[in-house]
Structure 1
C-alpha cells in the first residue's frame, strides 16, 4: 500500500515497524511492503505467528468484557496499534455506548487511522503519545476530557511491555500507571514469552532485532514481578487462551503455542 493511500507522510520506512507488522499478521491493510516482507519472513521461522496475534486479540476482547462485568466504564489502551475490527471501543460500546475509551500510540499510521475511524465519536479518541511516559499520557487534554481518574479505569498493555528492555524499567512504568489509578481499577498485561517455547519463537525474536522495536521475552515470574502491588485476578499469569476462555475447548491441547502470557491485576 502506498504512503498516499495510508494518508501519512514523512514516514521512516528504513525498517519494519512492529505495529504495522502486527496489523498485517492480523489480516489488516495498514502496512507497507517492508512490513509485509518482514512478516512473511517471520512466518517462515514461526509458522504460528498469525495464530499468536489472533489469540492475543481474542484475549484483549475478553479482558474488556471482564472489565465491563466488573463495572468498568473507562478504558485506556496503551500501545493500541492499528484500528482493527473488534477493537476496545467496539467491544465496550456494544455493552455501553457511553463507555469512555482512550487509545495511545506514537506510530504515525496508527494515529492517523485511529483518528479517522474515531472521528465524530465523542466517547473514544486517540492520544498521540509515547505510552512509556504515563504522566504525559494522563495529562493529555484528550485523556483529561474522557477519563475521570477518581473513578476506576482499566489500563490495557497488550503486547506492549515485551518491547521495553530492562534498562527502561518496565516495572517502574507499570507502577506509575498503577499509582495513578483509583481503587477498583484494573491493569491488563500481555507479553511474548520464552516459557515452554521452541526454537521457532527464538528465531523470530532474533529477527525482530532488525526492526524499530526489538522484542524482549518475559517469563511468568517476571510478569508477576512487573505487576507487584496489584492483586492478580484468577487464573493468574497464563497463556492467552487460558485466561478466562469463553469455552473450555478454546484452550486447546497446547496453550503454550499462543506464545504470549497474560495477566490482569486489580488496584486495591
Structure 2
C-alpha cells in the first residue's frame, strides 16, 4: 500500500483516484470544489481540505488539472506541493500541458529533492472509468519503474517515451491525431446524412475497414444522437491544439492539417460550444453546410 495524494478530481481525475483506492492504496484527494470528492470517499479514500493537507503524508503526488497555469499553481504555490510534500516524494503530473513548462517544473522538482514524471493520458472519460488509459511518460527510467503500480491501476497502455517533457510532446501529437479524426468523422456523418443513407449502418461498415478507429467507435453515438455530454471538452482540446501549433512552430515543423483543425476547434470555442464534448465539432460542420443541428433548432 502506498500513500497517494490526488489533486484534481474532475471527469478524469475522480475515476483515476477511485481506481487507486480500490487497488488498496491510501488516497487523499483534493479538489477546488469539495463536492467532487464524493466518489473517492465512497471508495475508502479521504477528502483533503487543501493541497497541503493532501500531500503531507504522501509518497506519491498525482496531479490532474486543466492547464499549465493550474499545474504551476498546484506545485509551486504557497499552499502547493513543493512547499508541503515530503522530501523524495514522487510527483506524477497526469495533466496535459506545455512541454517547456513541464521541463521547467521537473527541474524545480529535482532542485527541491522531489522526483518528477510527466504522464499525460489518452482515452477520455471512458478510458478513465475503465482503467484503460494510454499513458505516455516522460522522466527518469528509475522513477518510471517506481510509478508502475500507480500507472497499472489506472491505465492499460503505459510507455516510457523519454526524458522530462517527452510525455507532453507525445500527448500533443495524440491530440493532433484525435482532433483530425473527429473532424473527419463529423464531415463524414454530415455527408452521409445529406444523401439519406442509413448513417448508423454506414458507420458500422466503415468501422470494420481501414476507416475504422477508436474515435469512430467511441464518438459515433454522440454524433448520431447529437448528444455532446462532455467526456473531453472542446475548450480543453482547443487548449491542447494551441500547444501543438506553438510547439510545431518552435520546432520549424509544418502541420497544415493541424493548423486547420485548430482553427475549427477555436471556432467551436468562440460560438459557445466549449463546454461540449469534442465530438461537438459536428455542429461546426453542420453550420458550415447550412444545416443547423437539432439542438440549434430547439433553441
Larger Rg: 2
Scaled by the length of structure 2, what TM-score is found?
A: 0.34
Choose between structure 1 and 2: higher helix proportion: 2
- Highest relative contact order (Cα 8 Å, sep 6+), 1 or 2? 1
